[in-house]
Structure 1
Amino acid sequence: MSRTTRESFRGQGISKKISRQNKTLEQLLNEALVPEEEQPYEVPANWLWTKLGYFAQFERGITFPAAAKENSKGEGLIGCARTANIQEEFDWEDLIYIDSKYLKDNREKLVKIGDILMSSANSYNLVGKVVYVEDLLEEIAFGGFLLCLRTKSIEPRFLYYLLKYMFLSGEIQKLATQTTNIANINTTSLEELLIALPNIAEQIRIVYRVELLLAKINEARGLLEEARETFTNRRAAILAKAFRGELTRKWREEHPDVESAKKLLQSISVQLLNDSSLDSIPPTWAYCHLGEYVENHDGKRVPVALQTRNNRKGKFPYYGASGIIDYIDGYTHEGEYLLIAEDGANLLTRTKPIAFIARDKFWVNNHAHVVKCKGDIPNEYLSYYLNSIDLSNYVTGTAQPKLTQKNLKIIPIPVPPLEEQLLIVEILTNIFQSEEVIKESYAQVEKVLDATQQAILAKAFRGELGTNNLEEESALKLLRDVLKEKTKMEI
């Protein structure tokens, strides 16, 4: 297979220690160079292909019992980095703390400026993700699911961007071994990783050009995020107006004789809620508790373990706290129902809807409440309302947040007349459907930015950014110096 079509960056092996073994420097040099037929792609003439193990040292993180983790700093404790901290920049907001005794006085397990931290044990999509340590806000160690790469012989930021490119292109993940739930990358496979290397001067120029170009992409990402936040804030404002009656004020003026919500609720035997502490609503509206407003169908829920579901694949949706999580060969409910998350962090973080409509035949596990509005009242109205309000006062627990059936029932609901409910649902649906089209265009822009970033990095490590000077010395001298230092040989 030619080097221009070869995809693998895995080498044929490298010893953990370079020893003389009666070999000359030239013999060691030939071993360190990757044969042309094994090179993944062409690079400029003064670059070379070699293996990462010649230029990087690897340090595994410390191990400690799960019970040793603390969420805040205290006497005798030290911060510890973990996979969650490996973001575009190191996330200092999410450190855990452990007893410093787990360091065992090994200061190599402390994070240093210029380190490259890699997620070496994670899901397949995230294993191999790297972050460059620009500065240290406090002294911290790094945990056992992280690998620290250090180099003195090449520009560390060059190595960081190279590894980032390999992660984004999926090459790093190919080194991983997969177990049931986790992928692992070991130091042996990283030592064998083939890398294209220019001289130091070109490495520095590449880093400068890459950071300049990526800064423009990050600026675009910032503008995109601002636009998304604007949509989020606008959505929240629209929902707040909807449930204060402001969106339908004109409609009420044009329909003064509409039957009030009080009569609607009395017709379905719902007890009214009179609480002066609640937000003011139009006089034709009324409050009641959610438990009065709906029929509860939690009794039909049945949890099914993943292993069992794997043997019961079918066409019926299987719902959990945040929506469909699988498909199964049977159903627990039939018709239209409103599902409301019973547990999970999303009850507090609200990154996904906590209430959603399920229709036709479907299965629900014990992580979502199943309710249906009484009479002809639309489930969509209640769904929109629950997704618009803060439920933290009704959620118990922090490690595992839970919205019990008891607390669900006491949530106060502002109820408009039936016709107005239907109108509110129609208005909100039309607005948010239009927004979804715009949000989809944002997603497409983000994909373009991702592709552009990857294209920049691909060009950088093929010598195609226009920074390389063929008249400069070859990277071969750099490799010679590294081998000489490692073997203490003299030319």
Structure 2
Amino acid sequence: MAKKKQIELTIEEKLQNALVPKEEQPYKIPNNWCWVRLDFLLKEICNGTTIKQNKEGKTARVTRIESLQNNTIDFNRIGNIVNESLIKDKDWYIEGDIIVSHINSIEHVGKSAVITRDMLPLVHGMNLLRLRLNNICNSQFFQLYTRTTDYKKSIVNRVNRAVNQVSINQKQLCSLEIPITNLKEQQRIVNRIESLFVKLDRAKELIENTLAQFEQNKMAILHKAFTGELTVKWIKKNNIDLSSWKKYELKEVFKVVKDKYNPQIENQIVNYIGLENIETSKGIINKNNSSEVKSIKTKFKKDDVLYGKLRPYLNKHDVVNFDGICSTDILVFRFDNINTAKYINYYFNLPMFIQYAVENSSGINLPRVSEKTISKYKISLPIIEEQQEIVNILDKLLAKYNKIKNLEQQLEKIELLKKAILAKAFRGELGTNNPDEESAENLLKEILAEK
């Protein structure tokens, strides 16, 4: 049977297929911009090679799903092709290629990177889509768009969900709406964003260095506290023997509270603490988060220590100063003396304790540490009077580290500012757009005419 003759579309018909209908456009853009389906910006989209690989570092380098980190390729996380003779010409990246994570957690799916000249030679590995753009889209411009909130929403709206991960296939990705302007404006936007981001990254680096120094100093102070160095003068003054420090398992020091709150019986509004509300000793647990809880929770009282048993909250804990209820993923420890509670709460910050909790947590998807594991931990405790003295000294010495919270808030503001800059950039609001320049629609017509 003869094949049906394919109907040849006119340029205008092709253009209408490429452009996003007005009612489907995510937001308004300048008149010389246009919304285009990603499919019409691509020369090629493909998955990577399935050639066997290892991590011996002796043969051709190949990207893996974990190679894509922080909008670039982390060469500490790449693989190596076992048999280089199996590599085909089409398997190699070229400068300007975009790679996109299309099988990952919901937080990471859709993340991308641009392949730059200094990364080559490099082989395209499986589970990462490779996008090769046509001549009307700058690779850096496109990659910056993939860092916007609008792009992320578009990805999330299209993903296929599974138990532990999500995915987006080539057809779904190609249907994405992309705002396009002419190449001169694309380059101006790239230059402006990079210039602004350099300044923000410099500020971020300074803050992170300060935080790291604070943390280092804090750990040094805590180490001295729990080895008796902070109270040497106090010990001499009070004629106390160093042998007063005794070894205990934590279960001898506190009681694990398991009192349950049943909303069907008690049915009242209470102070509720979830995992996300636990602060480390840098701050105070949020006591204003009152809510009507609909499932059974654990009760706690003023001066109890709350401890997050679920990773990544194993270093989240604090002494509460009010009564309330908390998530069952939070352990509640009760002490006979408030100074012991504060002492242990400080102790929970020690790297060796955190390491113990991490190494002894269990579970595949959501590792957690049990109350039994924490209760078995051995600790050296001085007499109650020295515990109080250590807590008093730590309260004074670490008071200045409360500014850490302000610095962390500054880091959050930097990330929010970056998002705001990206949002403005792809709305044509950075002040770089020239309305008299050629429209992106005309450029698109030229590409479509070649197809």
Amino acid at match of 2:243: K
Amino acid at match of 1:58: I
Following the alignment from structure 2 to structure 1, what is the Cα–Cα distance between the partners of residues 421 and 347?
45
- 2:288 maps to none
User: Residue 336 of structure 1 contacts residue 360 of structure 1 at CA under 8 Å; is this kept in 2?
Assistant: no
- 1:202 maps to 185
Post-superposition CA distance 1:424-474 (Å, at most 9, x none): 1233245546534x2332233223222221222222222222222333222
Amino acid at match of 1:174: N
Is 1:185 matched with 2:168? yes
Moved more, 422-431 or 376-385: 376-385
Following the alignment from structure 1 to structure 2, what is the Cα–Cα distance between the partners of residues 430 and 167?
46
Aligned positions of 1:25-424 closer than 5 A: 25-56=11-42, 57-62=44-49, 72-73=55-56, 79-83=62-66, 85-96=68-79, 99=82, 105-134=87-116, 135-136=118-119, 139-144=122-127, 146-153=128-135, 154-166=137-149, 170-253=153-236, 255-257=237-239, 259-260=240-241, 262-263=243-244, 286=245, 288-291=246-249, 294-295=251-252, 329=296, 352-353=314-315, 378-390=340-352, 413-424=379-390
Following the alignment from structure 2 to structure 1, what is the Cα–Cα distance between the partners of residues 8 and 72?
45
SS in 2 for 1:92: coil
Post-superposition CA distance 1:241-273 (Å, at most 9, x none): 3234343344345x324x54535xxxxxxxxxx
Following the alignment from structure 2 to structure 1, what is the Cα–Cα distance between the partners of residues 300 and 247?
24
Following the alignment from structure 1 to structure 2, what is the Cα–Cα distance between the partners of residues 334 and 327?
20
Q: Percent identity?
A: 28
Following the alignment from structure 1 to structure 2, what is the Cα–Cα distance between the partners of residues 47 and 377?
65
SS in 1 for 2:72: coil
User: Residue 317 of structure 1 contacts residue 363 of structure 1 at CA under 8 Å; is this kept in 2?
Assistant: yes
SS in 1 for 2:437: coil
Following the alignment from structure 1 to structure 2, what is the Cα–Cα distance between the partners of residues 260 and 439?
36
Amino acid at match of 1:220: A
User: Residue 290 of structure 1 contacts residue 409 of structure 1 at CA under 8 Å; is this kept in 2?
Assistant: no
Measured after TM superposition, the shift of residue 195 of structure 1 is: 1.9
SS in 1 for 2:130: strand
Amino acid at match of 1:295: E
Following the alignment from structure 2 to structure 1, what is the Cα–Cα distance between the partners of residues 196 and 211?
23
SS in 1 for 2:406: helix
Measured after TM superposition, the shift of residue 157 of structure 1 is: 0.8
Amino acid at match of 2:416: A
Amino acid at match of 2:162: T
Change (3 A) 1:170 1:22: closer
Post-superposition CA distance 1:63-115 (Å, at most 9, x none): 69xxx885x326678544214633233222233557559x9645544444322
Amino acid at match of 1:446: L
Following the alignment from structure 2 to structure 1, what is the Cα–Cα distance between the partners of residues 253 and 309?
13
Post-superposition CA distance 1:39-69 (Å, at most 9, x none): 33333333222211111232224569xxx88
**Structure 1, unpaired ranges of 5+:** 1-18, 264-285, 302-313, 487-491
RMSD after superposition: 4.8
Amino acid at match of 2:436: E
Following the alignment from structure 1 to structure 2, what is the Cα–Cα distance between the partners of residues 35 and 168?
17
Change (3 A) 1:393 1:353: closer
Following the alignment from structure 1 to structure 2, what is the Cα–Cα distance between the partners of residues 75 and 142?
17
Q: Alignment length, in residue pairs?
A: 418
Change (3 A) 1:296 1:137: farther
Change (3 A) 1:384 1:327: farther
**TM-score under structure 2 length normalisation:** 0.72
Measured after TM superposition, the shift of residue 328 of structure 1 is: 5.8
Following the alignment from structure 1 to structure 2, what is the Cα–Cα distance between the partners of residues 118 and 183?
14
Following the alignment from structure 1 to structure 2, what is the Cα–Cα distance between the partners of residues 158 and 363?
44
User: Residue 254 of structure 2 contacts residue 336 of structure 2 at CA under 8 Å; is this kept in 1?
Assistant: no
Change (3 A) 1:298 1:460: same
Change (3 A) 1:440 1:30: same
**Structure 2, unpaired ranges of 5+:** 259-266, 281-292
User: Residue 129 of structure 1 contacts residue 164 of structure 1 at CA under 8 Å; is this kept in 2?
Assistant: yes
User: Residue 102 of structure 2 contacts residue 109 of structure 2 at CA under 8 Å; is this kept in 1?
Assistant: yes
Change (3 A) 1:478 1:137: closer
Following the alignment from structure 2 to structure 1, what is the Cα–Cα distance between the partners of residues 19 and 326?
59
- 2:413 maps to 448
Change (3 A) 1:448 1:389: closer
Following the alignment from structure 2 to structure 1, what is the Cα–Cα distance between the partners of residues 69 and 296?
40
User: Residue 79 of structure 1 contacts residue 141 of structure 1 at CA under 8 Å; is this kept in 2?
Assistant: yes
User: Residue 34 of structure 1 contacts residue 50 of structure 1 at CA under 8 Å; is this kept in 2?
Assistant: yes
User: Residue 332 of structure 1 contacts residue 363 of structure 1 at CA under 8 Å; is this kept in 2?
Assistant: no
Following the alignment from structure 1 to structure 2, what is the Cα–Cα distance between the partners of residues 410 and 48?
62
- 1:3 maps to none
User: Residue 318 of structure 1 contacts residue 327 of structure 1 at CA under 8 Å; is this kept in 2?
Assistant: no
Change (3 A) 1:441 1:28: same
- 2:284 maps to none
Change (3 A) 1:43 1:331: closer
Measured after TM superposition, the shift of residue 225 of structure 1 is: 1.0
Following the alignment from structure 1 to structure 2, what is the Cα–Cα distance between the partners of residues 157 and 298?
57
SS in 1 for 2:420: helix
Following the alignment from structure 2 to structure 1, what is the Cα–Cα distance between the partners of residues 194 and 145?
13
Measured after TM superposition, the shift of residue 380 of structure 1 is: 3.7
Change (3 A) 1:341 1:467: closer
Moved more, 36-45 or 386-395: 386-395
Is 1:23 matched with 2:5? no
Following the alignment from structure 1 to structure 2, what is the Cα–Cα distance between the partners of residues 204 and 97?
34
Post-superposition CA distance 1:307-341 (Å, at most 9, x none): xxxxxxx999899xx999x9962669999887889
Post-superposition CA distance 1:205-253 (Å, at most 9, x none): 2211121111111112112211211221121122123234343344345
Post-superposition CA distance 1:384-443 (Å, at most 9, x none): 3353243669997999999998999685x444332111121233245546534x233223
